[in-house]
Amino acid sequence: MQIQYKKKRNLLQNLFLSELVQGMWLTLRRLFTKPITLQYPHEQPNVRRGFRGQHALVRDPETHTTRCVGCMKCVMVCPSRCIRIRIQKRPEHGNRRFISAYHIDALRCVYCGYCAEVCPVNAIILTEVFAYSAFDRKSLSYDMPQLLDNWDRYLAEQGEDLAQYVNPTWRPRGLPEGPMPAGKRLPVPDDWKGKGQVVGRLWRQSVQGQNR
């Protein structure tokens, strides 16, 4: 690889401090550009779908409780081990598992989104809600009713229908559809799957640059 260094400065450039002048010119130009600051409490950021924020358990419209089947995949995959699930089996329902407790410690969570990615029934989700601080630890340690409430609030805020709702943490962009469990093969726009996927702004820009 050839490294392109800057040209060596000649005596005149050294004498008149051309490098310093270049630097000063750069900062002077920046003085007249628009600041990128977001005045947070006054302006809200535009949080895009797929941001990993507050946890929620999707409430199934039919059973009015969680969709979780107690497969424990999220518990196994969680790097910070912040999920605890207690399951029961009821003799009258055969081998079916029932969730008697689903617990997430939001203060331990690292917001990697693995739990949502691995969940075969799209039960857990990291919503776009990011402002949910509290004054004590206890209220940031969510149990199942709280998580279901989080979901209700989130869905009402978004004004969306669960039938059409799909979150990138459930079905990460660019994964092939074949090996996914049936529940994850949600209807998504073309740019989410296969070649049409959008990985990010930089990627899109580079593709546009190549076409040109």
For 169: left if phi > 0, alpha if psi spans -120 to 50, otherwise beta; the answer is: alpha
Phi, psi of 23 (to 5 degrees): -65, -45
Size of the site for other proteins (CB under 8 A): 15
Nearest one of 55, 164, 60 to 121, comparing CA atoms: 60
- Examine residue 12 and tell whether it contacts other proteins (CB under 8 A): no
- Examine residue 28 and tell whether it contacts other proteins (CB under 8 A): yes
Least gap, CB of 121 to other proteins (angstroms): 45
Would you give the DSSP letter of residue 58? P
Least gap, CB of 149 to other proteins (angstroms): 34
Least gap, CB of 15 to other proteins (angstroms): 11
Task: Name which position in 36, 131, 156, 202 contacts other proteins (CB under 8 A).
Answer: 36
Q: H or E element: which one contains 55?
A: strand 55-57
Least gap, CB of 10 to other proteins (angstroms): 19
Q: H or E element: which one contains 18?
A: helix 18-31
- Examine residue 20 and tell whether it contacts other proteins (CB under 8 A): yes
Task: Name which position in 4, 8, 35, 164 contacts other proteins (CB under 8 A).
Answer: 35
The answer to whether residues 75 and 83 touch, using CB atoms and an 8 Å cutoff, is yes
Task: Name which position in 27, 63, 95, 210 contacts other proteins (CB under 8 A).
Answer: 27
- What does the alpha-carbon distance between residue 176 and residue 192 come to, in Å, rounded to a whole number? 10
Binding segment (CB under 8 A) for other proteins, from list 36-44, 99-107, 113-121, 144-152: 36-44
Task: Name which position in 9, 24, 139, 143 contacts other proteins (CB under 8 A).
Answer: 24
Phi, psi of 187 (to 5 degrees): -70, 120
Please give the residues from 103 up to 132 whose contact with other proteins meets the rule CB under 8 A. Answer: none
Phi, psi of 141 (to 5 degrees): -110, 100
Residues that bind other proteins (CB under 8 A): 20, 23-24, 26-28, 30-37, 39
